[in-house]
Amino acid sequence: MSRITLRDHIQRLRERDSLHVVSRQVDPKHELAAVTKAVQQATNDAVIFENVIGTRHPVVTNLYNDRDRLCSIIDTGADDFCGRWNELHDIAKSLPFPETKDCEKPADIEDCALSDLPLITYHGRDAGPYFTSPIFIARHPLTGTHNLSFHRSMYINDNELRVRLGASHDLAAYQAIVEERDEALEAAILIGADPAIFLCAGASIPQDDSEIAVAAAINGAPVDCYPAKTIDLKIPLGSQFVIEGRILPNVRRNEGPFGEFLGYYVEEGRNHVFEVSAVYHTDDALFHSILCGSKEDIALLEALTAAKTYRHLNNVLPGIVDVACSPTVMNTTIKIRQQYEGHSRQVLLAAFGAHLDYNKVCAVVDDDVDIHSQDDILWAFATRGRADTRTLVIPDMPGFYRDPNKDHWGRLGIDATYPFDRRDEFVRKEIPGEESIRLEDYLSS
């Protein structure tokens, strides 16, 4: 498929009547986040805030808050995200063309200060304004491999951001390599990038693989890039805002508290410092805001965690149909076609090792269960066998990397499949013709 820009994606939402425009003035401190949450609770639509106090730039949010929109980026159906994503990852390893192509810098690029951007404070105890959709682009110091990744960034002033680099993230590994030499790591922050870049930035792929190459595989063509202004990097065309700079070596400063994706505050900690060297934007740039822990934040993480688990399981076991991670990314459900007695137990054990950060509670279900419905999953567990012999607890297994109190240690496995040799007893009842019923033909207004 061909490249889709951010504005293409927004236009699709507009054509589907899935875009609201807020023209009244909105305060970036709490009010914008509160309206965003209210919209998400009422509808699945995207929102553009045209008049945000303190900036001339519109803010857009709720762009990627369901699986269908993520599937549309990679041109696949809602039930085949995992398979299609892993196919694209494989294609990216042997692209028949370069992953990037040089292009001219857009003529409408305009320099600005960091304080000209929307400075949004989301939660009551947040230490200040945060950029919640920043895509960091950097190169491996030794191999030159491109990395795309999300890292929350706290605004301090026009020259400084404070950045949380998770210990298990590739960018943290890159930074550690140059820090040993007492050197800074050059990086650029993209806000409002093309959908393919956004999707790839959330991916967890091997460090030797390039997320830019996966974006090229999605587009079916090299990613057009132009030279950065102050650092030795290339910037993907279409990025609405670009912040260039470097992560300082052996410098840590206070960052936080911040309301993170699990629904709680991460307290103040000593985190990395990003020194800003240039900020610029395209004409009429749109600023992408993500409410952390919202559908837009979690949908991406869930989909890509599921795809990573799906790939791992298919490499070691037969009969894997699909994987979902909901209602939080800590919950993983695997749909299988049972191949032999004990198959589901093997799947559970393999799933725990598929993603060491997130697969905390894993369930295995048969291929007639909706893995996106917790009601259906719990129904299967409650009706297809004993409760005491179909759970598996693994104590003291380390979990999520940011967990000093070990709250996410341990694993729980739930076997919600029917007994292998009794399949015929668990055929779900149905009513012939129910799928073709149109209620409006029967119910009066």
Domain 317-426 belongs to what topology? Answer: UbiD C-terminal domain-like (3.40.1670)
Per-residue CA distances from 225 to 44, 236, 238, 349 (Å)? 33, 4, 9, 43
Per-residue confidence (pLDDT) for residue 226, from 0 to 100: 96
| Strand arrangement of the beta sheet that strand 19-22 belongs to | 19-22, 46-49, 59-61, 287-288
Say if CB 74 and CB 85 are below 8 A apart. Answer: yes
Three-state secondary structure of 241-281: EEEEEEEEEEEEEEECCEECCCCCEECCEEEEEEEEEEEEE
Confidence at residue 315, expressed as pLDDT on a 0 to 100 scale: 93
CA distances from 252 to 115, 134, 180, 248 (A): 22, 19, 15, 9
pLDDT at 403: 65
Q: Per CATH, which fold does 83-290 belong to?
A: Pnp Oxidase; Chain A (2.30.110)
Pull the structure tokens for residue 216: 């090229």
List per-residue pLDDT tens for the chain, 445 residues long: 678 999 999 999 999 999 999 999 999 999 999 999 999 999 989 999 999 999 999 999 999 988 889 999 998 987 789 999 999 999 999 999 999 999 999 888 999 999 999 999 999 999 999 999 999 999 999 999 999 999 999 999 999 999 998 777 889 999 999 999 999 999 999 999 999 999 999 888 888 889 999 999 999 999 999 999 999 999 999 999 999 999 999 999 999 999 887 777 888 899 999 999 999 999 999 999 999 888 888 888 888 889 989 999 999 999 999 999 888 777 899 999 999 999 999 999 999 888 777 778 899 999 999 999 999 999 999 999 998 999 988 887 776 666 677 777 878 899 999 999 999 999 998 899 988 988 888 887 6
Domains of the chain by residue range? 83-290, 317-426
Q: How far apart are CA 341 and CA 96, in angstroms?
A: 43
List C-alpha distances in Å: 262 to 236, 242, 354, 414, 427. 31, 28, 20, 22, 37
pLDDT at 355: 75
* Dihedral-angle region of residue 144 (phi above 0 means left; psi in -120 to 50 means alpha; beta otherwise): left
